Amino acid sequence: MAFHVPPTHEGLYDQVVSRFRMLLRRGVITGISDVRLNLWLKNFISSEDQYLAARVLDNLSYRSQAMVTSAIQHVNECVLPCELRRRGIGNFADVDGLVESLRSGDATHPVRFVAVDGSHEQVPGKSGSVVIRQFQRDGVSKALTCKPENLGALPATVKCLVFVDDMLGTGKQFSGFAEHYKLDTYAGTQAVIYCPLVAHQKGLDKLTAKFPWLTLLPVEVFGAAHQFYRGAAKNERQWAIDDENLVDDVREFVKALCTKRNIPATTQHSLNLLLGFEHATPNNSLPLLYAESPQWNFLLKRQT
């Protein structure tokens, strides 16, 4: 049977859209206007289209600006203090002392924050530079940030390099970044730490195997359970999201819809995620969320 609306879920579209609108009104979801939502919903015409839209919205992992701020605070107040203490780096009386030192930005501070961006290969949409500006806004002095091309000029007092990013997907982009800037050459004298706000387990496994000198400290970890085309535990061919449609049928339906509307169904970096940040949407997410054409309205911004 082709992709269809299960009889037990015929009212799902109205339920999900109503709940999403409520989250917009209450400010739980920010950065998406009601007008933008309406335009995106107009992409879905048939009952099968609307069922797909409901499943996309219902499985969307959206990180608002407030959530990003909370994640950055977690790095500064929990992740980083624990790692510095474990390594014996710095002489901070307590967590509050470290947090204040990040804010004041003394030149002798042992930590520097570095954005993972795509400037070395002219990759559009890499938002590490956006994330590091958010770190600055949320408690890290600009004096404690460093451009990757300037790492070699840092003073000997710097003992820890913290690379920040919003998303680690397959690990391909960070691998290219690490190799281009020869990050392994710093690992002998400095702790080299990568702190993406969200990381996929595939990327973590790849980087762990490839760069044994790299410490990975993601705030959130995604895996197979976050992928849209995931199979059920008891039957991998069956779509885990509704336990009725087949994964191949869902994939083919999305492909046909995207082809008809002149947008890509996937990307080379896609992990079939439904993840979006208020500032940008990773290219590991399905283009259904962020693609734009004369026949398709986007819901989320691809990049700022």
User: What residue type is 295 in one-letter code?
Assistant: Q
Cβ-Cβ contacts under 8 Å for 125 (sequence gap 6 or more)? 118, 280, 283, 302, 303
pLDDT digits over 168-224, tens only?
Answer: 999 999 999 999 999 999 999 999 999 999 999 999 999 999 999 999 999 999 999
Alpha-carbon gap, residue 139 to 104, rounded angstroms: 9
pLDDT digits over 34-75, tens only?
Answer: 999 999 999 999 999 999 999 999 999 999 999 999 999 999
258-267 long-range Cβ contacts below 8 angstroms, 24+ apart: 258/287, 258/288, 258/291, 260/295, 261/43, 261/293, 261/295, 261/296, 262/293, 262/294, 262/295, 262/296, 263/287, 263/288, 263/291, 263/292, 263/293, 263/295, 263/296, 264/291
Cβ-Cβ contacts under 8 Å for 188 (sequence gap 6 or more)? none
Q: How confident is the model at residue 128 (pLDDT cuts 50, 70, 90)?
A: confident
Buried b (16+ CB within 10 A) or exposed e, 178-211: beebebeebeeebbbbbbbbbbbbbbbebbeeeb
pLDDT digits over 250-275, tens only?
Answer: 999 999 999 999 999 998 878 999 99
Structure tokens at 166: 């919003």
Longest CA–CA separation in the chain, Å: 66
How high is the pLDDT of residue 78?
97
Average pLDDT over residues 10-25: 97
Torsion, Cα of 139, 140, 143, 146 (10° steps)? -160
Domains of the chain, CATH where assigned: 13-58+228-270+272-277 (no CATH), 65-217 (3.40.50)
Q: How confident is the model at residue 304 (pLDDT cuts 50, 70, 90)?
A: low
pLDDT digits over 72-83, tens only?
Answer: 999 999 999 999
Structure tokens at 98: 């470290």
Structure tokens at 26: 């209450």
